[in-house]
Structures are given as C-alpha cells and as structure tokens.
Amino acid sequence: MNTLSANTNGSGAGSTGNNNGNGNGNGNGSGNGNGGSSTTANATTAGSGGGGGGGVGNLDELGGDASSRRQATRVFKKSSSNGKITVYLGKRDFVDHVTHVDPIDGVVFIDPEYVKDRKVFGQVLAAFRYGREDLDVLGLTFRKDLYLAHEQIYPPMQMERPMTRLQERLIKKLGPNAHPFYFEVPPYCPASVSLQPAPGDVGKSCGVDYELKAFVGEHIEDKPHKRNSVRLTIRKVMYAPSKAGEQPSIEVSKEFMMKPNKIHLEASLDKELYHHGEKISVNVHVANNSNRTVKKIKVCVRQFADICLFSTAQYKSVVAETESEDGCTVAPGFTLSKVFELCPLLANNKDKWGLALDGQLKHEDTNLASSTLITNPAQRESLGILVHYKVKVKLLIGSPLLGGDLVAELPFTLMHPKPEEEEHPVLGDRSPRASLAAPLLSLGDSVDAGAGASAGQTAKDVPTTTNLIQLDDDEAQDDDIIFEDFARLRLKGAETEA
C-alpha cells in the first residue's frame, strides 16, 4: 500500500485566528500516529498537543519578531514491519572529513512487551556489490558485506559517552522505551558510489552502499527477521575542500619526421575545483609552425572509475564533449586561441553503462560521482571505487601514418560545495506542515488536510498555521521536531523506497 499523507498531531477543529491573533484554539487534538509500514510516506509534525489549529495569528502581532522565531529539527524515522521497533535518525548523509567521519547517532524506540528477555542490536555495514542482483543463485551472491561497527542497544550497556542534544530531546519526547545508539565509522572507508547499469538491467546496481540496521535477537550473530528488523540506507559523502589546488595547465608539442618545426598546444582551466552543474572553461592556444593543417579541435570531459576492492578494472566514460566548428582549421604558420565551455551532467549521460554516480540510482537527486580525495596512497585499496576527472584536448592533424594527433589532458576535481549550517523550517514563518505538504501535493492530486478542513475545502485552502509556537517556554523547543518517514519520494508516481 503506497499512501501519502501529511498529518498534524494535536490538530483539531479550532477556529483560525483573526488579524489580531486571537483565536479559540479549542480543538480535540485528535491526530493519527504514523503506522509501522515502511511503504507509507508520512510527514508528521509533532506538536505539544492539545489545542487546535486556531489561536495563531501573525507572529509580529503577537509581539514577536524574526529573531524570536524558533527552528524545527527534522528527524527521519522508520519502523519494522510489525511496528515493534522504530529507528529515529537525525540525518541520512554522514560527512567524511578525511581525518574522521561524522558519528551515526540516533534513538531506537522499542516495545518491551514484544522484546521481553531478548536484546536489540544495531549494526552499520558497508556493502560492495560487484555483480547484478539477478545473477545471485544457489546462495552465491556477488556482494561483500564489510561490518564496520555494531553494539547492543537494549538492554542498554554501561554508557560512558554522553548523549547528544538530539538524543536527549528524542528520549524526552518518546519516553523511557527509547534508547540511544552511537556508531563511529573508521576513516578511509569507501564512498557511497554506484555504477550506472545498462538499460534494461533490474535489481540493485554494482557499487558501494551503507546500511544502518537494528533488529531483535538473542545474539549479535543472529540472522535478522524482516518482521522485527529495520534497515536504513545511509550515505557517506565528502564535500569540496576549502582550498583548491593550483590552476591546471599543460604545454605539449609535436614534431614530424624530416620536418624541424612543431605544432605547439597550450591548454589550461580557469580553476582546479568545480562544483556539480558548474561550467568548465577550457582555454586552448594552438601555434602551428609545421607544414601540417590542424583540421579540428575536440575537447571532452572524461570520468575514470577505478575498482579497487576485488579487481583492478577501470571504467572510462565521456561525460561532456564539444569541438570546433566545421571549417575552423589552423593552417601552417597560423595560431588560434579559443575558449571551450563544457558542463558534465548526469542528465546527458543516462544511458551510459558503468558511469560512476553518487548514492542510489533510483532517486532523482543522484548526480555524477564526486572526485575521490586520497590523502594516504597506502589506503587506496580500501576506498572501493576511486573516481577522478580529466579534460582531454585533442588536435586532429591527420592519419596515424602521417604522425597522428596531438593530445593533452588536464586533471580537475568535481565535488559538491560544503553546505552551510542546515536551515530548518522556521515555525511561524512557514509551518512544518506547510513545508512538508508542499512536495507531497506536487506528487498527488490531494492530501489529507486534517480535521481542521471542511468538506468543501481544497488542500490549497487549508490553513497551514499550527499550535507549535511557544513564546514563553524554553522547554517547548523539545517539541519542535518534524518526524519524516525514512523513505525517498520518487517523482514518477507515488512509489517510495527506503
């Protein structure tokens, strides 16, 4: 069952506040809780409960200003199929800072009546798939699981590590049946990279992915059952460094037999570090002192993906290319200076098999894989799939019998910029319900507007204000948490995938 809804806990049929900000707000506070099915994509705003949607007017009219608006925290959640354990996680992507990786911390909510005298374990593993999933037969899988970290979550072990602020807030909200977990991923682990499958291939693609798993069992070695286990796909990402390298440039020459003069080629990039979606400017200067004619100039961006875990294979793919116009030749004794612009994008390379991509293929936010930064060459083999990019400039001179072509290559780095501090939805300016309902509405014709909407109201007319604004109580910050099911919404249809 694939459903999309946006429910607001504690929303009743209270009246909407007038321009003076005076409303009754006497709702019944009847709201649905999220079910345990992993195929349901809900976006639930956890409020302090009780009141209805009324009683909230303009924040400025209530005596507040922009500086008094608090921020909400988004928390991802996923439940087991039987709904007995639920994992809460603050983020999906964990950053590799080269020297260390962000810790993976969150909370597991359990049903003690179901667990009884058993235990709840947590694991983080990296898996490298080097063959198609549909080729797995007779128990032989083309997949290697590399366990990175594991611990017993319940009953809680002696914890010497203090809880994070998010864990404290979640445990305060969820109650005593919530238990924290904390995993440290060692450095020099493979990045989350997948290889684009050929058209028509089904199943999971080749590549490296990370998974957080929580399950009920007697021992850590027990095989988890689907009904009482939770699997969450997470990503290990790396952002562009603050300092870029030197501007790439190269000079090459070619001479011909029995001819003293040469063809000289100079090529350079405007910088060494580029962000995804950014245009690359290639400066090309050709000085033809020979008696040959340069017929054409071709410029392309090539991606190199080195497989280091189980083989030494290398995939080479052209992700962007351009060339000089017809008739734009460089005759003997002439020079040419020209700037070529290229923009490597996944949208232009959807059908190329073996192309390295970031993260999961089935999500629309996938892009070309970022460059792999290597600080210690000795750790090269443990990095899984190494990705790097080069700009190739080629002068077409003639047939190989007459001396061949002249080629120059310029390496560069392609990565995502390091994001600023995450901007959480600001309560009062735009409610969590509004911010989460907007993308959901774009995927379906309607959305459950809650008890506050009349039968004749459309989803667009439903008031988006909630009763989460507390101006005089610091403890209310613990209630400003947006729970979102751990599922990515696909743009085509209403399918979800964890």
267 pLDDT above the threshold of 80:
yes
Residue 222 and residue 280 share a domain? no
Q: How far is Cα 368 from Cα 387, in angstroms, rounded to an integer?
A: 10
User: 35-61 pLDDT, tens per residue?
Assistant: 444 433 344 444 434 344 444 444 344
Give yes or no for residue 371 having a pLDDT over 70: yes
Asked, for residue 244, whether it belongs to a domain, the answer is no
Per-residue pLDDT averaged across 401-409, rounded?
Answer: 79
**Same domain assignment for residues 84 and 68:** no
**Is residue 255 over pLDDT 70?**
yes
CA atoms within 13 A on the CB side of 192: 22
Looking at the structure, do residues 19 and 38 belong to the same domain, yes or no? yes
**Residue 130 maps to which CATH number?**
2.60.40.840
27: containing domain: 1-72+424-498
In this structure, is residue 243 part of a structural domain? Answer: no
Residue 232 and residue 261 in one domain? no
Residues 223 and 88 in one domain: yes
Q: Are residues 96 and 32 in the same domain?
A: no
Q: What is the amino acid identity at position 142?
A: F
Summarised one tens digit per residue, pLDDT across range 410-458 is 999 999 988 775 444 333 343 333 333 333 333 334 334 344 444 444 4
Q: What is the pLDDT of residue 25?
A: 42
Q: What is the mean pLDDT of residues 380-386?
A: 77
Return the SS3 of 347.
helix
* Separation of alpha carbons 24 and 471, rounded Å: 18
Spell out the residues 6+ positions from residue 120 whose beta carbon is closer than 8 angstroms to its own: 85, 108, 110, 152, 153, 154, 179, 214, 215, 216
Choosing from 177, 207, 237, the residue where a domain stops is 237
**CB–CB of 448/91 below 8 Å?**
no
Q: Which residues contact 82 (CB under 8 A, 6 or more apart)?
A: 36, 114, 227, 228
Does residue 34 surpass a pLDDT of 50?
no
DSSP letter for 246, please.
Answer: P
Q: Are 73 and 470 a contacting pair, CB within 8 Å?
A: no
Q: Which of these three, 394, 415, 436, is where a domain ends?
A: 415
Q: What is the CATH number of the domain that holds 411?
A: 2.60.40.640
**C-alpha span between 177 and 171 (Å, rounded):** 8
Q: Please check whether residues 223 and 308 belong to one and the same domain.
A: no
Residue 471 domain flag: yes
Is residue 31's pLDDT more than 60?
no
* Residue 87 contacts residue 101 (beta carbons within 8 Å): no
pLDDT at 302: 96
* Residue 391 reports pLDDT greater than 90: yes
pTM of the model: 0.68
Tracing tokens 């499958």 back to the chain, one arrives at 197
Same domain, 393 and 255: yes
Please, what is the average pLDDT of the chain? Answer: 73
Last residue of a domain, one of 175, 202, 237: 237
Mean pLDDT, rounded, for 345-351: 89
Residue 263, CA distances (Å) to 248, 291, 294, 339, 403 in order: 21, 9, 9, 19, 11
CA angle 51, 52, 58 (to 5 degrees): 100
227/192 same-domain check: yes
For residue 179, list its beta bridge partners.
Answer: 108
**324 within 8 A of 338, measured Cβ to Cβ:** yes
**Tens digit of pLDDT for each residue in 132-174?**
666 656 566 777 777 778 889 998 887 677 888 889 999 999 9
